[in-house]
């Protein structure tokens, strides 16, 4: 093969990859924009919703660990990070606490991260926990990222996760799982449906987890079934629409009613609650919709719907549903770097490459 032919093939591959990634990103953005136009009420009248009551943390059986988490986190923030009170928000009832001693965590535990809805479909552009996984690995932790089907149902993804966890059974060390968004519901289903695989799980942390569902799924359900579920996307199998139905509040609350007593794994919640000026532009329409119910939401989920009942509350992070796990500065750099080429007549991009942790 001549050098010219080789160069043409490389150019074709770059172009195809770039078009695929743009298609994935534009599809996700289009779905958000379309659902922002849905005129249905966020919480329509229904007689299928399990009866609920709003109570304080202690009345819901939630252990408040905000003080302990703040004491552990604040000293670990980078020197150029914002003040801790701008990272972790203080709401009434948070007690002061001294940092707890940590002993040989690297050798005692393994760590698994599980992404959320649609992540597989845009994995080439953005990946939740990306920098954290890399940093922990460099720090000596045994870290895994368990991808799940981006348009998979809770049941299907639970089966996929069960196989992933079964592959780690030879190591007796317990596992701490960090599950993002819908990934929390996927892992919970695995815990209940495949207890043999869940025996390794020492703790399950919901990061902006869809614990009790979201009112946004009510308006998204029909539109997603028609447009989003089967839209062709690179590296992302089509869905059947049930993956969004799984996020409806009535579906999730009914799940807790049925399975709550069967959960033996300690549950922890890290809640995203952005201050109004700290919401990503693309999530702002959804944030405003949810703000009609409660302004303390992350652009996808209401703040009280991300706390696991009878679990442990770690804290409230001043971030939206995306920025709590995704560094978009890194994502933009990653999108540009692998395939960008100088346009004709322009000098090559002289900007330094992104840091390795991106």
Domains recognised in the chain with CATH numbers:
108-337 (3.40.50.1820)
For residues 131 and 263, which has the higher predicted lDDT (pLDDT)? 263
d(CA 184, CA 79): 31
d(CA 40, CA 267): 34
Which tens digit of pLDDT belongs to each residue from 208-256? 999 999 999 987 777 788 788 888 888 888 888 889 999 999 999 999 9
CA-wise closest residue to 322 among 358, 275, 274: 274
Instruction: Name the pLDDT band for 309 (thresholds 50, 70, 90).
Output: very high
Given a contact cutoff of 8 angstroms between Cβ atoms, the answer to whether 201 and 133 are in contact is no
User: Residue 158 CB: number of other CB atoms within 10 A?
Assistant: 23
For residues 224 and 330, which has the higher predicted lDDT (pLDDT)? 224
Place of tokens 């919480």: 43
Instruction: Name the pLDDT band for 45 (thresholds 50, 70, 90).
Output: confident
Could you give the angle at the alpha carbon of 340 between the alpha carbons of 335 and 341, nearest 5°? 175
Tokens for 156, please give them. Answer: 């299907």
What pLDDT does residue 3 have? 52
What pLDDT does residue 344 have? 43
Query: Looking at residues 77-94, what average pLDDT do you find?
Result: 95
User: Residue 273 CB: number of other CB atoms within 10 A?
Assistant: 23
Given a contact cutoff of 8 angstroms between Cβ atoms, the answer to whether 157 and 189 are in contact is yes
């Amino acid at each position: 093969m001549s050098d010219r032919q080789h160069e043409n093939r490389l150019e074709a591959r770059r172009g195809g990859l770039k078009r695929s990634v743009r298609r994935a990103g534009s599809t996700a953005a289009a779905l958000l924009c379309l659902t922002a136009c849905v005129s249905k009420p966020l919480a329509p009248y229904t007689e299928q919703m399990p009866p609920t009551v709003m109570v304080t943390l202690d009345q819901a059986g939630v252990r408040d660990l905000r003080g302990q988490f703040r004491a552990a986190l604040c000293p670990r923030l980078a020197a150029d990070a914002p003040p801790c009170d701008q990272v972790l928000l203080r709401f009434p009832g948070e007690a002061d606490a001294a940092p707890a001693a940590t002993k040989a965590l690297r050798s005692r535990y393994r760590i698994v991260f599980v992404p959320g809805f649609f992540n597989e479909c845009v994995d080439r552009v953005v990946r939740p926990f990306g920098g954290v996984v890399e940093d922990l690995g460099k720090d000596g932790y045994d870290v895994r990222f368990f991808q799940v089907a981006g348009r998979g149902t809770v049941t299907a993804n639970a089966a996929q996760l069960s196989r992933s966890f079964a592959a780690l059974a030879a190591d007796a060390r317990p596992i701490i799982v960090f599950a993002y968004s819908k990934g929390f519901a996927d892992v919970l289903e695995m815990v209940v449906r495949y207890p043999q695989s869940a025996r390794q799980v020492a703790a399950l942390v919901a990061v902006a987890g869809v614990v009790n569902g979201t009112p946004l799924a009510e308006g998204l359900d029909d539109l997603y079934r028609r447009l989003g579920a089967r839209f062709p996307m690179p590296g992302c199998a089509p869905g059947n629409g049930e993956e969004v139905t799984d996020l409806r509040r009535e579906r999730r609350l009914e799940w807790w009613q049925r399975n709550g007593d069967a959960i033996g794994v300690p549950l922890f919640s890290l809640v995203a609650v952005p201050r109004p000026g700290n919401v990503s532009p693309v999530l702002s329409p959804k944030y405003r919709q949810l703000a009609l119910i409660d302004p303390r939401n992350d652009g996808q989920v209401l703040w009280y719907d991300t706390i696991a009942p009878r679990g442990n509350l770690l804290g409230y992070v001043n971030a939206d549903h995306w920025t709590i796990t995704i560094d978009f500065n890194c994502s933009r750099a990653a999108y540009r770097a692998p395939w960008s080429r100088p346009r004709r007549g322009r000098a090559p991009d002289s900007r330094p490459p992104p840091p390795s942790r991106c």
